[in-house]
Structure 1
């Protein structure tokens, strides 16, 4: 059935007579070499021998009009490339001196040196190269083909051109539930691909915020995750880090697309079980084409062409050789294997033509770039027996950015421009250069040296890469967050094309809205916009991050090694979540089944809402670190909102809520601290002071007290405010930063204390104010005024008073609004007591503040509520 389906899908001039038995339309051809198959192996062999033989001495029998670079299907399935980028017309790939017969092989008659095609043509050959590949056997799994054809089924496969882009479509549609990836009970091409797409799906789900609502399963018929122990060990670390559930010796038996169910058979327990799915990626069973599988004189018991595993010659027919996926050699079926095989086959067939014995031996080389994310890859290389046979002078079992870019860019170029022209035989020559001492034991010691030198090599490559660029500008803004965008807009009109913004992120988040996402009030998609839509159009955006500052030379070096020279610089790089300070925190956050979350990251704030909804009573624990970071009130906001939600769900009676903070009080400003403490007591919330979170495990959360004592709190839900730290680029630059790593600026003028042409604002500065978006508004105004003065040769005159604000949302209807300046002085806008819960504060936080942020603050039009305050509250009442 699969053969007929494939056949009828092809539109060729001979289709209407493909089953005809009339002789007038049949033809007879003869050739020196007949190549069955025009895929990777067939094209490579045809290219090699057409250079050695006269025109039309080589015939290629291939029915398909398109040629695909199939290793790219994985990336197409993850949305990295399009299907068209993997496709070429077959006539453009085949060598011009070869004769192409666009037809299927029907029968091989090895005793008569003849092949009959599906259209009834006869081809006589002297030598035969079988490179027929493998076909997908969809019919072996009932319901699979129908599910693949149904666009709404959620079932896809990267192992076919017609379905690989459906994989990415299904990833985009997936919102929650099980995502299942399978490996069949048969030989397949590229055995690493089934897990590669699972890793990419995990990365994509994290990007789109649905990973916390997704359970990923990898069901494989194999007893191990990969056949080479060295790489299997590292892949298990990837699986563990990504929290992918692996079921071994498990085979897909049936697909029920109408119910979105998949039936599996466990070979150990000898029983069937059913799994529901939202997305199902299937690696179909595979087999050789019918004409080969049914020819008992040529194949082994499994239907694969029988050849000597070293010489690739048929043991029964010396003039027949095989290459690629269709032969019975015990190697991994990959394009890399074909490259190595093609060299062996070429020279052995030439020897056979000269009546000599084949001498070259294929060592079973194969390679599999195991893509583990959208920028990392493990480059597995091995030979017969599962023995690693690596090319690069570093441990290729480690995840590498270099390996990813080799997979993404280098390998396709090698394929089209070298391998398809018969010039590429694998990386053996490169390996000899990279490993000149591979025959002696010195290499074992050298590998350790390379490992130690790897970090320095990486930086050296970036510094001395010939493609590095140099930029010059009047004003450089480092950071594209709220502060960076606001300053860029304020100077864009005057400086026009002499302003550069250095920012690595492609999207801009409204971070104060993460609390609303964590409480289910807003969705994450409403909290971000593409960065280019936020930045002014007449500035230059460099999509990179700062790696090092050299203020004495007015120079910033980027991660890619580019250099940016500036006259003036504004630093607004924010701060980072330092998850590693809490043992086990990253693993708990990444585990969708672990009730640990945080609203301080777009990756995890959606998980907070899932945890709140799934909570059915018990101990709910909320934390705040000893050293606060951005928006210290957010940790309490999500706690009060969770308490209000559980009250509405009528489970508050069986719920205990604890708030553990490393600080000495619940809030830094006494007026609001008193109101919050009273509110916490009225709602039965127990605060503990001087308790800093140091470890998270399934058994409980461990806190350290002010005297170094530790105590473990069990939990049914845990919300963590992670410790925060300055960005690495600032920490490493002692000329610009304080001992703590923050930008050393004057707390009033925001001008750097040692470099007058450098200013800073936002979370990264050493100013003793609350790190909130509200603080950025007056800071950006002060920076604008003072920087314009400095540009004009004047002294800074504007002063920042330390203003900050925190809308303390206390329920789904009410909230407080804390506003204050330096020294904890109250600085309220409205003519009423903002420490009391009011409905208007909730509405302002939900609707007014996001509008001001997107339409005024990030566009440099909002300086804070000072004008409003002077009008409606002139007496500060």
Structure 2
């Protein structure tokens, strides 16, 4: 099949390109250890690295062009700051002398047989290949574009090609006023910031030459936002507003009529809708695609013609001896020179691992990219980010602000680094700068999250470690005792009683970074924060808890925020006071209490607030005019049969209707929409509704597949040590242990984590074991309740010497008085391991199994 593909590709007419070949021998055969296909940024960098490592002649670079361009400078060429000549050097001068340069282009790749055939008939056999062929411009996708670019009088240009970027400057310089239109196509492109950079520079020049008042600037982009990273998009929206630039989203260039000076666009959401704009100057970012030979090599590309690689290791998904780098790969990162610098280090080390026969590839590409967005002559925004649009800034300033320093870095520093360090294989991105600027961001123990688990662990460890050896990262300035939210929702406690300042509950000298972790990098013992810090550690404890996923239920977030709609939840400090307001305002009718399908924290709280509301309405003598419904996707009221039976009796005695196997799917102002297990829709009207929202761990954890399993931190359920990374431990609601997620569980877990972490640091066996203990005091009225205690597999583990499934006054007393005291004064300070010792003293014969 591959030979057939070669023949097809050979007969296909190739679009004109700036190729140059002086190969003396046709139909020559070559062989090498490493074949680098492409001599652009990625190809040169990788060739330089391996030419140093391997003996002479072991590396072949297949590249047809005699010239090498520093393309990021084309924007400034188009703005008249520099010339094309300043961006160009000969390919011979930048390729490593120890490598063999074959001045030809690939015709097809036979990955099964490790052979590449070229357009001039050469055949190159390789042991390993790195594909770095970049992107080509698909001018012909836009009818009329190529002819317009070649017409000096058309006022149509692009900064994306050395052939036309000086024409952009000519068009800007000679522009006298009218309509200036700038475009962004509906394909992946290199340097996604460049289409707007040149618009900003044109605006700046028009302003300097006093013609801006006669110019209308329009920026048409296929994207739904101006920039893919929100932090910078917010600032850029201020820039376009200040510059009075009209931005049209999801608008794609379709045709250019140079004779009429008209550009035809279509709407991305409905291609039948066309918009024709007149122009006096048109800057086009051309559609782009991978080279034809790559698109025709069907067994190594994805459906869009991009090299199919693992987005972290950059190794081909099918052929382990092939790696990719740069714009031609299907990694979901911004296609920039900065990305290639980072990728080159990953490819180098992972390819070396492959060469040595290792199965595991340790280096991971995190999607790093950078885009210096010039906003005017002398000013620039320096955007840096990784996968999923997470900012990853280097400098100790807010890089989203327009900066003079960033402009000169773009104009002078980055070209210098490119020519003298990156292309020679010595520059891998600005990580070394971050380490110099932030040398103290290294600790023996890093705790992420200052909830109940994080605070308890840090208190236990600080006795044996110096304060400088520990860092805790937590973005919130306030710590909440969340079990109190139920009592606030029932009017028993006041909201100020539920929280204290974080600083007041942490050990006084432990370093607290008021920041948020955006990414875990367990391979390199580091985390990255929202403010751009890289914090390194020897041992990591993750206790990031769960977040409420309101948006999973359409309408929920909206009506929780609406004070006029009787929808509330006690699972958030933002809404628990609204719950109490709604309980008091309820005048009768239908009330609904819901429980979600996903595992959540304190699963009993959904029922507690229901029983307390019933008791309040009973005292106010409106219960006779009311009906209460409890809906759950589960098949029982509680996961432990003993307590499920007791709670069934409670619900039945209060006339509460329990609907099993119903999941809340949508909330409107008057109705709740549920889906049954069989897919049937059930709509229930309400006068009062309490919702237990779906929950999940924060995105920083769910997206880290190295650490998480189905979104939760993957730990051994007894030692709480991570299953793959022995220096990582977990605690609390974010771990995948099959226990009830309660504060009582954290007390036991923190003791286990502290002991095992300490033993792990000193190479000792992990002796401490977590047995799955959890407890759930369920108030059934303003005076009574039951106390559920259990371990893994639903084993009863009651502390008191009587049947705790029976409603008793002591439960209310403990919930209202004792447990808050234990939490603030014992649990958070690492002095409470749970009631195990008390249980042995007052209930030595485990009488909790009796139901009398």
Short-chain TM bin: 0.5 to 0.7
Structure 1 residue 649 corresponds to structure 2 residue 620: yes
**1:31-430 alignment, distance < 5 Å:** 363=213, 401-402=231-232
Structure 1 residue 459 corresponds to structure 2 residue 385: yes
Query: How far apart, CA to CA, are the structure 1 residues paired with 2:719 and 2:632?
Result: 32
CA apart distance, 1:364? 11
Query: How far apart, CA to CA, are the structure 2 residues paired with 1:782 and 1:631?
Result: 21
Query: How far apart, CA to CA, are the structure 2 residues paired with 1:439 and 1:596?
Result: 55
The aligned residue for residue 807 of structure 1 is: 777
Query: How far apart, CA to CA, are the structure 2 residues paired with 1:692 and 1:521?
Result: 30
Structure 1 residue 530 corresponds to structure 2 residue 456: no
Structure 1 residue 543 corresponds to structure 2 residue 514: yes
Q: What is the CA deviation profile of residues 578-637 of structure 1, one whole-angstrom value per residue up to 9, with x for unaligned ones?
A: 122212111111211111111111111111111111111110000001223100000000
The aligned residue for residue 692 of structure 1 is: 663
Matched-pair contact (CA < 8 Å) for 1:481–1:508: yes
Match of 2:825 among 855, 860, 867: 855
The aligned residue for residue 17 of structure 2 is: none
The aligned residue for residue 404 of structure 2 is: none
The aligned residue for residue 768 of structure 1 is: 738
Matched-pair contact (CA < 8 Å) for 1:805–1:817: yes
**1:561-640 alignment, distance < 5 Å:** 561-640=532-611
Change (3 A) 1:396 1:549: closer
For the residue of structure 2 that corresponds to 1:676, the secondary structure is helix
Q: What is the CA deviation profile of residues 116-168 of structure 1, one whole-angstrom value per residue up to 9, with x for unaligned ones?
A: xxxxxxxxxxxxxxxxxxxxxxxxxxxxxxxxxxxxxxxxxxxxxxxxxxxxx
Structure 1 residue 828 corresponds to structure 2 residue 798: yes
Q: Provide the aligned length of Structure 1 versus Structure 2.
A: 481
CA apart distance, 1:360? 6.5
Change (3 A) 1:800 1:362: closer
Change (3 A) 1:686 1:793: same
The aligned residue for residue 662 of structure 1 is: 633
Matched-pair contact (CA < 8 Å) for 2:670–2:687: no
Matched-pair contact (CA < 8 Å) for 2:490–2:579: yes
For the residue of structure 2 that corresponds to 1:616, the secondary structure is coil
TM-score (norm 2): 0.52
Structure 1 residue 493 corresponds to structure 2 residue 463: yes
The aligned residue for residue 111 of structure 2 is: none
Query: How far apart, CA to CA, are the structure 1 residues paired with 2:806 and 2:607?
Result: 16
Matched-pair contact (CA < 8 Å) for 2:719–2:766: yes
Matched-pair contact (CA < 8 Å) for 2:714–2:722: yes
For the residue of structure 1 that corresponds to 2:500, the secondary structure is strand
Change (3 A) 1:493 1:689: same
For the residue of structure 2 that corresponds to 1:756, the secondary structure is coil
Match of 2:454 among 439, 461, 484: 484
The aligned residue for residue 846 of structure 1 is: 816
The aligned residue for residue 767 of structure 2 is: 797
**1:496-535 alignment, distance < 5 Å:** 496=466, 497-535=468-506
Matched-pair contact (CA < 8 Å) for 2:715–2:722: yes
Structure 1 residue 440 corresponds to structure 2 residue 281: yes
Change (3 A) 1:439 1:667: farther
CA apart distance, 1:401? 4.4
TM-score (norm 1): 0.51
Structure 1 residue 683 corresponds to structure 2 residue 651: no
Considering only aligned residues, what root-mean-square deviation do their CA atoms show, in Å?
A: 3.6
Structure 1 residue 868 corresponds to structure 2 residue 709: no
Q: What is the CA deviation profile of residues 270-297 of structure 1, one whole-angstrom value per residue up to 9, with x for unaligned ones?
A: xxxxxxxxxxxxxxxxxxxxxxxxxxxx
CA apart distance, 1:403? 7.7
Change (3 A) 1:792 1:841: same
Query: How far apart, CA to CA, are the structure 2 residues paired with 1:518 and 1:729?
Result: 30
Q: What is the CA deviation profile of residues 317-340 of structure 1, one whole-angstrom value per residue up to 9, with x for unaligned ones?
A: xxxxxxxxxxxxxxxxxxxxxxx9
Q: What is the CA deviation profile of residues 382-417 of structure 1, one whole-angstrom value per residue up to 9, with x for unaligned ones?
A: x9xxx9999xx9967999645877999x9xxxxxxx
Match of 1:712 among 651, 674, 683: 683
CA apart distance, 1:818? 0.7
The aligned residue for residue 39 of structure 1 is: none
Query: How far apart, CA to CA, are the structure 2 residues paired with 1:452 and 1:568?
Result: 30
The aligned residue for residue 705 of structure 2 is: 734
For the residue of structure 2 that corresponds to 1:826, the secondary structure is coil
Stretches (4+) displaced over 2 A = 359-365, 387-390, 393-408, 426-429, 437-446, 451-458, 460-470
Structure 1 residue 553 corresponds to structure 2 residue 519: no
Change (3 A) 1:389 1:708: closer
Structure 1 residue 721 corresponds to structure 2 residue 692: yes
Change (3 A) 1:399 1:759: closer
For the residue of structure 1 that corresponds to 2:732, the secondary structure is coil
Change (3 A) 1:389 1:554: closer
Query: How far apart, CA to CA, are the structure 2 residues paired with 1:674 and 1:662?
Result: 18
The aligned residue for residue 192 of structure 1 is: none
Change (3 A) 1:396 1:732: closer
Change (3 A) 1:742 1:557: same
Structure 1 residue 755 corresponds to structure 2 residue 725: yes
Matched-pair contact (CA < 8 Å) for 1:484–1:571: yes
Query: How far apart, CA to CA, are the structure 2 residues paired with 1:462 and 1:750?
Result: 31
CA apart distance, 1:826? 1.0
Matched-pair contact (CA < 8 Å) for 2:453–2:732: yes
Match of 1:673 among 619, 631, 644: 644
Matched-pair contact (CA < 8 Å) for 1:492–1:538: no
Matched-pair contact (CA < 8 Å) for 1:627–1:662: no
Matched-pair contact (CA < 8 Å) for 2:392–2:530: no
> Which consecutive residues of structure 1, in runs of 5 or more, have no partner in the other structure?
1-339, 348-358, 366-382, 411-425, 432-436
The aligned residue for residue 307 of structure 1 is: none
Matched-pair contact (CA < 8 Å) for 1:763–1:772: yes
For the residue of structure 2 that corresponds to 1:495, the secondary structure is coil
Change (3 A) 1:731 1:389: closer
Query: How far apart, CA to CA, are the structure 2 residues paired with 1:696 and 1:428?
Result: 40
Change (3 A) 1:587 1:399: farther
Change (3 A) 1:757 1:399: closer
Change (3 A) 1:492 1:699: same
For the residue of structure 2 that corresponds to 1:679, the secondary structure is helix
For the residue of structure 2 that corresponds to 1:636, the secondary structure is helix
Q: What is the CA deviation profile of residues 258-281 of structure 1, one whole-angstrom value per residue up to 9, with x for unaligned ones?
A: xxxxxxxxxxxxxxxxxxxxxxxx
For the residue of structure 2 that corresponds to 1:763, the secondary structure is helix
Query: How far apart, CA to CA, are the structure 2 residues paired with 1:611 and 1:445?
Result: 57
